[in-house]
Amino acid sequence: MIEMENVSKWYGSFQVLTDCSTQVSKGDVVVVCGPSGSGKSTLIKTVNGLEPFQQGRIVVDGILVGDRKTDLSKLRARIGMVFQNFELFPHLSIRDNLTLGQIKVLGRGKEEAMEHGLKYLDRVGLLAHKDKFPGQLSGGQQQRVAIARALAMDPIAMLFDEPTSALDPEMINEVLDVMSGLANDGMTMMVVTHEMGFARKVANRVIFMDGGGIVEDCAKDAFFDRPQSERARDFLAKII
Ligand code: ADP
Ligand code: MG
């Protein structure tokens, strides 16, 4: 579903990604980990065209990303993205947060969008909060709304960039539980996270990045039990 071939990216003269190649199949749950500044956020943002890249090739569900002719808004509509800081619209109610993209980007009618949005709000356990504003919810609840909002767009894949890093510890699990449920339902996911418990339980693959390159890309058990590189061993020793 996602094919990345020798992707390189520079910020001016600084090379942030070097020859990154990987493939994500339908239903894969790929955890992307590595030290801070290793290029994880940049990598997953290239997948939905949020970050341009200068070399290589990315194909998502048959769509060539980075081709001038590709309509990126269509691609972004089909790939859900959840960020560290929720990024809900603060001036809109939860209901309106859930429907805005469906109406503006997918052209759905208000009623259909509402029905669809509330279905996912229910699924993340927050239906009772539909008339509140983001600021009235806890961080964990806001992040669950952000996930529901992304799901309401019927994405073919979901990208998560450290979705629990900004949360108080007691709220981390409620978000990880929603993500585990999604994974169990077969959603294709790329998840940047330091939550190695989640990776062990839910991922089927792990990508380890360092210095802008993909250093390891292997089955979960192989990564945790037999990391091939010194750098991955160091990283695991520090984080676990
Ligand atoms: P990670 O998510 O693994 O922490 P990032 O992808 O955010 O890493 O960043 C990778 C590297 O690129 C870092 O060294 C960071 O400072 C640099 N970087 C990120 N965004 C920019 C930018 N807009 N301009 C210049 N350098 C950037
Ligand atoms: Mg990051």
Ligand 1 pocket test, pick from 42, 54, 231 with the greatest ligand atom count within 8 Å of Cβ, gives 42
Given this model, what pLDDT does residue 75 score?
83
Using H for helix, E for strand and C for coil, what is the string for 64-80?
A: EECCCCCCHHHHHHHEE
The whole-angstrom separation of Cα 185 and Cα 84 is: 23
What letter represents residue 216's amino acid? E
- Residue 112 confidence (pLDDT) above 90: yes
Q: Which residue has the tokens 């939905």?
A: 48
Instruction: Work out the average pLDDT over 37-63.
Output: 94
Ligand 1 pocket test, pick from 9, 10, 11, 84 with the greatest ligand atom count within 8 Å of Cβ, gives 11
Predicted TM-score (pTM) of this structure: 0.95
Q: What is the mean pLDDT of the chain?
A: 94
Task: Kindly give the distance from the C-alpha atom of residue 160 to the centroid of ligand 1, in angstroms, as a whole number.
Answer: 16
Ligand 1-lining residues (CB < 6 angstroms): 11, 14, 16, 34, 36-42
How sure is the predictor about 27, in pLDDT bands with cuts at 50, 70 and 90?
very high
Instruction: Work out the average pLDDT over 201-228.
Output: 96
Given this model, what pLDDT does residue 42 score?
97
Contact 44, 189 (CB under 8 A): no
Residue whose Cα lies nearest atom 27 of ligand 1: it is 11
Tell me the ipTM for this assembly: 0.97
Residue whose Cα lies nearest atom 5 of ligand 1: it is 39
Task: Kindly give the distance from the C-alpha atom of residue 84 to the centroid of ligand 2, in angstroms, as a whole number.
Answer: 9
**Other C-beta atoms within 10 Å of 29: how many?**
26
Sheet bearing 14-24, strands edge to edge? 14-24, 2-11, 55-60, 63-65
Task: Kindly give the distance from the C-alpha atom of residue 207 to the centroid of ligand 2, in angstroms, as a whole number.
Answer: 14
Of the chain, the percentage scoring pLDDT greater than 90 comes to 89
- Residue 77 confidence (pLDDT) above 90: no
Instruction: Work out the average pLDDT over 187-191.
Output: 97
Given this model, what pLDDT does residue 240 score?
72
